[in-house]
Structure 1
Amino acid sequence: MKKIFTKITAFILIAIFICACNAVKRVPDGKNLLTKNDIIVNGKSTNDETASNQMYQKPNSNLLGFRLRLNLYNLAKLNPDSTYQAKFKNNPGKYERQSKILSAKQVDRLGQSFLYKGIHEFLKRTGEAPVIIDTSKTKKTLLRLKSYYFNNGYFNVAMNYDIDSVGYKRAKINYNITTGAVYTLDSIKQNISTPALDSLYKTNPEPPILKSGNQFKTSDFEEEKNRITTYFRNHGAYFFQPTYVTFDVDTIGKKNKADINLIIKDNSIQEKDSSRTEPFKLYKISDVNIYTDYSPARAKSQIKDSTTYKNFNLYSYDRLKYKPRAITDAIFITKGGTYADFRTTLSSRYLNNLKIFNYPSIQYEVDKRDSTAQSLIAKVYLTPRKKYSFGATLDLTHSNIQDFGIGASVSETIRNVFNRAETLEISARVNVGSSKDMANPNDNFFNVSEYGVDMKLNFPRILMPFGTEKIIPKSMIPSTSIAAGFSKQRNIGLDKENFTGGLSYLWSPKRYNSAKLDLLNAQYVRNLNPDNYFKVYTSSYDELNGIGKDYNVNADNWGDSPEEQNRKNLTIPKGTTGFTNDVINNRTALTPSDPEYKDIESIEERRIRLTENDFILATSYTFTKTTKKDLADNTFYQFKTKIESAGTLLSAISSVASLPKNSRGNYDIFNLEYSEYIKTEFDYIKHWDFGKEKVLAVRSFFGIAIPFGNSDYIPFSRSYYSGGSNDNRAWQPYALGPGSTNAVNDFNEANMKIALSGEFRFKIFGDVKGAIFADAGNIWNVLDNVTDEKAKFSSLNDFDEIALGSGFGLRYDLSFFVIRLDLGFKTYNPAHDKGDRWFKEYNFGHSVLNFGINYPF
């Protein structure tokens, strides 16, 4: 493997060298390929990203110093049509010979084929033409740079450029900039013509952007305009716009300082061919009119139904289909209140969040009934969505369990169910798939299946027997969700039936924050085929069977036929159960002090844990905070924390009611021990945007679930695993840990997890992106019934069991989602002996190729 890797590396280096020599293939004689723009400010080079963005010409893009797209372009024939025709002009007999074989028409069409033309068109589209230095564009860049530095307070900036040759047909441009002293703000005065605005300006609690002593920056002036405009428009100044804010900058008689005079003139009103000015007015709302079934075609139709509710006027062109409160709760514009932009925005968000209307339109007009002309009528136009909508999907899937799957789902959404803007979503799904890890005695390709039904009823308010407005006001856009679901799996592990139900509340304390309280979250998991355990968890069977060959004393555990007796393999489930019972009941030569005895205890403990039916009744609270404004924002952070408690309520009821305990000393419900634990998680993501589509992304995660009371372990569905396309990508899902155990089980899980990942993303060409990543982390057992010391986290020394994977990946951006391929290498593997963990399996033979949709974090 090392020899192959060396050959591949040598081949890549030779290819890069050849392509590098070919970089100036399309550069005409007497011209130069632009290799670098060097901005030299006061004698020192700068990496100012904003200054670099002023360039009219930038060097060809590169990947780790290699200009891939330029070399792809150079591989293409610029005029493949002419080249194809020239081949026959130089050899006329060749055309005649080929025409006899194919026909003249087919020979001509061959010239338009992918082999002769298409491949070159593809290379030109994918590649990048050489950037040849153009001095006219260089001079335009100088003007841009001068404007940039001038707008940042360097009023006496001087600059020039020179071109340096750096090789055959290659050159770089040096932009030499002498900034001079920077200007700062000195005195700042205001001249506001409208007294009402002058008073508002003085009462604004937000500090001004422009302050004496600050460096002069044009961007600060724009921010100050927006700050003032936002405050004025949120306090009644409906007609005020940023263009009314101007600044007079005076530098006469000043040394590197500027006096600023902020000027806001009166409102300018255009009337036919003339204009006049008058002081700005602060408006109040005289009426709020809501049109509940508006459409442009109905704009001039007659209103047929109307009502007034808490000073809101509701109108309908047909019969009013909504209870008034369902809509008025979503409107923050109030009669008699002061006009405010933020109330309009908040109302639009809330109305849109109801999911029963298309995006609402809110308009204002001056109330002609008011003689002072200081009143506005707010008009809210709502266009209902269809009451019933049907959806269907067909998907190709890949998951931790299925290598390949085909899924189909149908859904029905019913809006305004109880005439208070509720939505009911009912969906059904079915999936068939193939998995090499599942038991498959008939060797069928589609050997796993799952189907399920889900229902979700959403209320656009908090459903509580008492008022919550003081704790969670409607400005936080609260909602309540009641959900129930059922699913059934076949040939997936032990085959399962899964019943779920829940009552949850969701609200947004701030614009980019969200909170969710799962008051009740119930899950009942029923294993349909527990006898199939050792056919699924084959590593556990292999270990048990290996011990059985040496210590089994009951021939019936090997089967009935002579062939089975000779093989001495424990049958499933009769033989495995029989041998385990013989060991635990001391009917074999093994004693509790023997390592094999402890291994069998551990195997049996895990079998019981994974084959027992689970009932979980949990309450959880999740809080998420993010600074991400939209999908294009690549400089943000996101913090998410969750705390979950399960079984506490049931234990309290059982204790108060003095209910009896079972033989194990635990409480039962419906003859089933319920789970009791507390779980908490912390997840932090941070992105840095370095420009030119280079992004550094970091994620850290910590989670722990501690069983107590009625449980001494965490249910499989609530435990943690490590590895996979969104975790440590150098290991397969469930294939890392716990601790240093070398993943002794088939599906390895534990109740504590630490993960830390970093990824540097960059553009390769077009929509193809690349990434270099490193993933660290592991899972451990802590404070539960697992006895294997290698799997437990017992001291700080166990931090040396944190695994490290590294690698690289490719991404193809399809706008609405990203297709991702990541190749991970085991860099530090804690499963090996100390001193032998670094780079032991750092090769392609032990690498893991992950396929994923969208970025991992």
Structure 2
Amino acid sequence: MAALTLYSCAVEKYIPEDEKLYTGAEIEIKSDSIIENEPQLKAVLQEALRPKPNSKFLGMRPGLHYYYKMQQEKPGFLNRFFYKRIGEEPVYESSVQPFEVEEILINRLENRGFFYSTATSEMIEEEKYASAKYTVTVPSPYRIASYQLDSLSEPFYSEIKESVANTKLKPGMRFDLSNLKLERERIDSELKQKGYYNFNNGFLIFEADTNQYDKKRFDLFLRLKNETPAKSVVPYRISKINVYPNYNVGTDSLSNEVIRFNEKNYINGEDFFKSKYLDPYITLEEGQLYSPQNSKNTARRLSTIGAYKFVNIQYKEIDTLLTDSLGALEANIFLSPLNKRAIRAELQGVTKSNNFAGPGLALTYTNRNLFKGGEILNITGRVSYEVQAGGGDSGGRSSLELGLKNELIFPRVIFPIKINSDFFEYAIPKTKTSVGVDYLNRTKLYSLISGTGQFGYLWQANRYVTHEIIPISINYTKLSNTTPEFEQILDDNEFLRRSFEQQFISGLNYSFTYNGMVDAGKTHQFYLNATLDVAGNSISLFGKENEEGTNEFLGLEYAQYAKGDVDVRYHFNFAKEQTIATRLFAGYGLAYGNSDVLPYVKQYFAGGPYSVRAFRIRSLGPGTYTDDGTNQSSFFDQTGNIRLEANVEYRFPIFSYLKGAVFADAGNIWNSKENEALPGGKFTSNFLNELGMGAGFGLRVDVQGFVIRFDLAAPFHDPSQEVGQRFDFRYDEPIFNFAIGYPF
């Protein structure tokens, strides 16, 4: 491979005899005075250089090499593949036009106030290569002496004068064309917010006057172009608002059914979406001055309902109402619904370290407008079956899980006291309710029935921040049909018994999310999710102590604990579709009061396709615990109340929808108290030496955000091994992971 890499850079022999490969240019700046931000100015000039030389990697030109290889009669599959990905046509000296570049450099300097600059160039030639050197002589720049607004007619003069008063252009600033363009855009934006519907920044023009000064200073004047249309300097008000709640694109929007509600016309939509539920999402009002911001707010709020695929707000000028001082607009809000009903199927396959494997199927029915108020109903049914392969006493065990969950989301706040929706400027909070039941049967061991119920709110505070608070969260589990074998397992593991005994969980959950990943074009992206889960505090006020010394509510022993998680992610997008993704996770659960151990369903696990992928799901830890096969409870997932994890992944494109990745994971779980049934699982200061670590590679099929992921990973640090034997890259024992979506 090294030989191939070195060979790929030997491009000299392909360069034609009458050509020299262009390797780039350098710029030298000469000035008789100190230049402010000279490195920034040099970067601007460097960016203006043309043409760009062929790219280099570690001093080599692989893209150019594969171009030359493609010119051969039989380039071969690998050469064709790499040429398609990174191939570049050669840039020769003959394609360089120094005089044109000099003019561009002078233009860039003048745009930044360095008038009367000069530029010279020379070509530096070697045997097979050539480069350019440009020298620019830069005099002291012109600076602003004053910034004034030219005379205009009222009331437009007062409006624009108020905007100019907030300018960032100050006396002493260097002339800069880009700053003048930003100033025009700023004024245009502020005027739009004041109702000037037909205005645009192209109607503004700057003029500089240097006649009064002899030391490179100038007065800056802002005025309107002479050909500016009269209606551009007139504010517009919204005189009429038409809402089409059930609009089909490409059809005639005319209808005879018009319902007047809260000074808006709802046309042909009452049977689809009730006006009283839709109206709070619309921030536009009749009599209101035109404002692009109000339009954006309305469009965004309507899009968050979840019932519409398109939200289109169009304005129509009412020419008959136009005067010299005021114009009128008709606002038409077209809302195109999604399909009201949908069914989604998801098929999964799971393998575990205890030789259990099996399929899982989930079906979800969705109704996106249940009560004609944008309510979303999701009904999900799940079934999964696992069987344990192997001989002896363990063979023949199986696990059957059935689940049904009903989730109803209201796109508004349901609360005993009415809350004004105007308080929520960015988005109206949603009310979430859910009820679910699960049945789990593990042959030769037990059956478990669990029921859950939740009521809470989801609120997007701004583009990045989301809050979710669940003040009512109830979970009930009932263990039944236990076998003597399972009772013996519980007798041998008191922690496991206690985690099953507390059947009732009542508490609240809070989640804070900052999602910078929504800015897909940014080089640096951050994500933070912090959750808090507290149970048993409020219900303890009604608890009654039983004969065993623990408290019960309605005859059920309830859990008391606090659990907090932090999930931090950082993505570095350094090239097209190439990303280095990192993740840190930390979680801790504290049992107190009525509990001395977290409920089994609230404990952490490690390993699997969304964790440390070199270990099978729920097989890593706790700590240095080793399952030697003699522990009867090995059927159960290895869990703990502390979890730490770190991941790093390099993602890159292969071709079309197929993507690739190389990754490394590290993590583990621990218990804060020693569990005799899981020796070595207690958290200590030596936790770094107890991390499970692995590395691998993966393939992903990414079709418009829907990702099917295949990862193959092998461990290189296994904490379950003896000290001194933990570092061992077992590449011949890889773990295959199949999952939907990226891991982080």
Match of 1:309 among 248, 261, 272: 261
Q: Residue 841 in 1 paired to residue 731 in 2?
A: no
Q: Assess if the C-alpha contact under 8 Å between 2:694 and 2:717 holds in 1.
A: no
Q: Assess if the C-alpha contact under 8 Å between 1:51 and 1:148 holds in 2.
A: no
Q: CA deviation at 1:69?
A: 5.8
- In the other structure, the counterpart of 1:268 is 228
Q: Residue 455 in 1 paired to residue 406 in 2?
A: yes
Give runs of aligned pairs for residues 162-177 of structure 1, distance below 5 A: 162=123, 165=126, 171=129, 173-174=131-132, 176=134
Q: Assess if the C-alpha contact under 8 Å between 1:676 and 1:708 holds in 2.
A: yes
Q: CA deviation at 1:349?
A: 1.4
Q: Deviations over 1:312-359 (max 9, x none)?
A: 22222x765443211211110112222211111111112222233341
- In the other structure, the counterpart of 1:535 is none
Alpha-carbon distance change, 771 to 298 in structure 1, aligned in 2, over 3 angstroms:
closer
- In the other structure, the counterpart of 1:160 is 121
Match of 1:781 among 641, 665, 671: 671
Q: CA deviation at 1:736?
A: 4.2
Q: Residue 136 in 1 paired to residue 95 in 2?
A: yes
Q: How far, CA to CA, are the matches of 1:343 and 1:464 in structure 2?
A: 27
- In the other structure, the counterpart of 1:357 is 308
Q: How far, CA to CA, are the matches of 1:825 and 1:144 in structure 2?
A: 55
- In the other structure, the counterpart of 1:99 is none
Q: How many residues align?
A: 722
Q: CA deviation at 1:262?
A: 3.6
Gaps of at least 5 residues in structure 1 are 1-11, 84-116, 270-276, 533-571, 582-602
- In the other structure, the counterpart of 2:538 is 649
SS in 2 for 1:135: helix
Q: How far, CA to CA, are the matches of 1:146 and 1:431 in structure 2?
A: 71
SS in 1 for 2:493: helix
Q: Residue 665 in 1 paired to residue 514 in 2?
A: no
Q: Residue 180 in 1 paired to residue 70 in 2?
A: no
Q: How far, CA to CA, are the matches of 1:124 and 1:833 in structure 2?
A: 49
Alpha-carbon distance change, 760 to 121 in structure 1, aligned in 2, over 3 angstroms:
closer
Alpha-carbon distance change, 614 to 52 in structure 1, aligned in 2, over 3 angstroms:
farther
Q: How far, CA to CA, are the matches of 1:812 and 1:152 in structure 2?
A: 47
Q: CA deviation at 1:505?
A: 1.0
Alpha-carbon distance change, 358 to 764 in structure 1, aligned in 2, over 3 angstroms:
closer
Give runs of aligned pairs for residues 484-563 of structure 1, distance below 5 A: 484-489=435-440, 497-526=449-478, 531=483
Q: How far, CA to CA, are the matches of 2:581 and 2:44 in structure 1?
A: 19
Q: How far, CA to CA, are the matches of 1:137 and 1:403 in structure 2?
A: 67
Q: Assess if the C-alpha contact under 8 Å between 2:426 and 2:462 holds in 1.
A: no
Q: CA deviation at 1:438?
A: 12
Match of 2:522 among 617, 633, 641: 633
Q: CA deviation at 1:684?
A: 2.8
Q: Deviations over 1:650-690 (max 9, x none)?
A: 22222xxxx34252523255x54332211222333334444
Q: Deviations over 1:552-598 (max 9, x none)?
A: xxxxxxxxxxxxxxxxxxxx558x55xx96xxxxxxxxxxxxxxxxx
Q: CA deviation at 1:711?
A: 1.4
Match of 2:702 among 804, 814, 820: 814
TM-score by length of 2: 0.80
Give runs of aligned pairs for residues 605-620 of structure 1, distance below 5 A: 605-609=494-498, 612=501, 614-620=503-509
Alpha-carbon distance change, 403 to 60 in structure 1, aligned in 2, over 3 angstroms:
farther
SS in 1 for 2:233: coil
SS in 2 for 1:268: coil
Q: Assess if the C-alpha contact under 8 Å between 1:287 and 1:335 holds in 2.
A: yes
TM-score by length of 1: 0.71
Q: How far, CA to CA, are the matches of 1:384 and 1:350 in structure 2?
A: 14
Give runs of aligned pairs for residues 32-47 of structure 1, distance below 5 A: 37=24, 39-40=26-27, 42=29
Q: Residue 389 in 1 paired to residue 389 in 2?
A: no
Q: CA deviation at 1:180?
A: 3.1
Give runs of aligned pairs for residues 203-222 of structure 1, distance below 5 A: 203=162, 208-212=167-171, 217-222=176-181
Alpha-carbon distance change, 67 to 408 in structure 1, aligned in 2, over 3 angstroms:
farther
Match of 1:189 among 131, 142, 147: 147
Which is worse superposed, 617-626 or 126-135? 126-135
Q: How far, CA to CA, are the matches of 1:322 and 1:765 in structure 2?
A: 44
Which is worse superposed, 841-850 or 696-705? 841-850
Q: Assess if the C-alpha contact under 8 Å between 1:26 and 1:130 holds in 2.
A: no
Alpha-carbon distance change, 141 to 802 in structure 1, aligned in 2, over 3 angstroms:
farther
Give runs of aligned pairs for residues 229-248 of structure 1, distance below 5 A: 229-248=188-207
SS in 1 for 2:420: coil
- In the other structure, the counterpart of 2:34 is none
SS in 1 for 2:188: helix
Match of 1:624 among 498, 503, 513: 513
SS in 2 for 1:482: strand
Alpha-carbon distance change, 820 to 179 in structure 1, aligned in 2, over 3 angstroms:
farther
Match of 1:59 among 28, 49, 54: 54
Match of 2:561 among 667, 671, 677: 677
Two-structure CA RMSD over aligned residues (Å): 4.7
- In the other structure, the counterpart of 1:720 is 604
Q: How far, CA to CA, are the matches of 1:508 and 1:237 in structure 2?
A: 31
- In the other structure, the counterpart of 2:33 is none
Q: Deviations over 1:439-477 (max 9, x none)?
A: 997779xx7665433322221210001022279536432
Bigger Rg, which one: 1
Alpha-carbon distance change, 416 to 248 in structure 1, aligned in 2, over 3 angstroms:
same
SS in 2 for 1:199: helix
SS in 1 for 2:194: coil
SS in 2 for 1:336: coil
Q: How far, CA to CA, are the matches of 2:321 and 2:717 in structure 1?
A: 78
SS in 2 for 1:791: coil
- In the other structure, the counterpart of 1:423 is 376
Match of 2:2 among 6, 13, 22: 13
Q: How far, CA to CA, are the matches of 2:401 and 2:103 in structure 1?
A: 65
Q: How far, CA to CA, are the matches of 1:831 and 1:255 in structure 2?
A: 78
Q: How far, CA to CA, are the matches of 1:266 and 1:149 in structure 2?
A: 29
Gaps of at least 5 residues in structure 2 are 31-37, 629-633
Which one-letter code corresponds to 2:670 in the other structure? Answer: W
Q: CA deviation at 1:697?
A: 4.1
Q: Residue 288 in 1 paired to residue 173 in 2?
A: no
How much identity, in percent, do the aligned residues show?
A: 22
Q: How far, CA to CA, are the matches of 2:742 and 2:51 in structure 1?
A: 32
Q: Assess if the C-alpha contact under 8 Å between 1:809 and 1:820 holds in 2.
A: no
Alpha-carbon distance change, 773 to 605 in structure 1, aligned in 2, over 3 angstroms:
same
Q: How far, CA to CA, are the matches of 1:355 and 1:66 in structure 2?
A: 51
Q: Assess if the C-alpha contact under 8 Å between 1:405 and 1:433 holds in 2.
A: yes
Q: Assess if the C-alpha contact under 8 Å between 1:429 and 1:451 holds in 2.
A: yes
Q: Assess if the C-alpha contact under 8 Å between 1:126 and 1:766 holds in 2.
A: no
Match of 2:681 among 791, 799, 806: 791
Alpha-carbon distance change, 790 to 733 in structure 1, aligned in 2, over 3 angstroms:
same
Which is worse superposed, 69-78 or 620-629? 69-78
Q: CA deviation at 1:853?
A: 5.2
Alpha-carbon distance change, 130 to 451 in structure 1, aligned in 2, over 3 angstroms:
farther
Q: CA deviation at 1:189?
A: 1.4
